[in-house]
Amino acid sequence: MARETSQALQPELSGKVAIVTGASRRMGKAIALRLAEAGVVVVVNAKTSAASAAEVVRTIEGRGGKGISVLADVTDPEAVRGMVEKTVGAFGRIDILVNTLAIRHHDSLAETTLASWHEVLASVLDSTFLCAQACAPHLIASKGAIVNIGGASAHFGQKHHAAVMTAKMGLIGLTRALALDLGPDVVANCLIPGRIEASEDRRSATPRYPMERIPAGRAGSLEEVAEAVIMLCNPRSRFINAQAIHISGGMLFGI
């Protein structure tokens, strides 16, 4: 019933095909489930978590949706090409790309190795670049949408977070480059969650951003982030393009 209601509200999304990277847990999982609820066929990507990715697909199918899981290291060009080929082979098109993957190391500057630095940047920037590049011909053909998931630490700062802050701020530049290079056929936006809590993630209990900094007076939910993705993927929202959009309950505001 929930899926039928969502499809009635978002008929433009029904039957479209989305790839969601890092979709086996937490935010990527919530986004994959919400897209499927709206009628989107979802490719659930994970690097090694086969069981978790398969469980997400079972949940999608149990709710009347359609999806497949694809294991692929999205920092590897060959793996990305294989994922895209499998998606197009199975469904004939790609309409939506959502990049959620991010490895986070919490090391001081002195403790950060070059290998660790590169791993974090690759997880955010290389993966987004490679997936966008491989999906581009299909997204152009379908006049599709790219949504990249940024990070509030890049805007508010977080100690021992240099690599993540750098990667997430760079993601905004990459998002705008994608909008320029792939426009007008493809729209690209960066969605930046603030303090988001989820029962399945114990780390979310750590108040990185104090509640008093949030005018809404509460933390957000994974489902609210997923709803914002739905909005940005809807063809009716195509004039929203090349933007860094905060979903933080008002934690950040300005011109």
Please name the residue that has the structure tokens 């690209």: 188
Tally of domains within the chain: 1
Question: Does any domain span residue 4?
Answer: no
Query: By residue range, what is the domain housing residue 183?
Result: 12-247
What's the pLDDT score for residue 12?
Answer: 92
Question: Does any domain span residue 5?
Answer: no
Question: Does any domain span residue 128?
Answer: yes
Where residue 32 sits, what CATH number does that domain have? 3.40.50.720
Q: DSSP letter string over 168-193?
A: HHHHHHHHHHHHHHHTTT-EEEEEEE
Question: Does any domain span residue 86?
Answer: yes
Question: Does any domain span residue 113?
Answer: yes
What's the pLDDT score for residue 200?
Answer: 54
Question: Does any domain span residue 220?
Answer: yes
Q: DSSP letter string over 179-243?
A: HHHHTTT-EEEEEEE-SEE-TT-GGGGS-SS-GGG-TTSS-EEHHHHHHHHHHHHSGGGTT--S-
What's the pLDDT score for residue 208?
Answer: 67
Helices (H), 38-126: 50-62, 77-91, 114-121
Question: Does any domain span residue 255?
Answer: no
What's the pLDDT score for residue 1?
Answer: 40
177 to each of 75, 171, 236, how far by Cα in Å? 19, 10, 22
Question: Does any domain span residue 115?
Answer: yes
Per-residue pLDDT of the chain (255 residues; tens, 9 = 90+): 444 444 444 789 999 999 999 999 999 999 999 999 999 999 999 999 999 999 999 999 999 999 999 999 999 999 999 999 999 999 999 999 999 999 888 888 999 999 999 999 999 999 999 999 999 999 999 999 999 999 988 888 788 889 999 999 999 999 999 999 999 999 999 999 999 987 555 444 445 678 888 999 999 999 999 999 999 999 999 999 999 999 999 988 754
> How many Cβ atoms sit within 10 Å of the Cβ of residue 4?
11
Locate 193 and state its tokens: 């969650």
Q: For residues 52 and 46, is the Cβ–Cβ distance under 8 A? A: yes
List, in sequence order, every residue forming a beta bridge with 192; answer none if it has no partner.
246
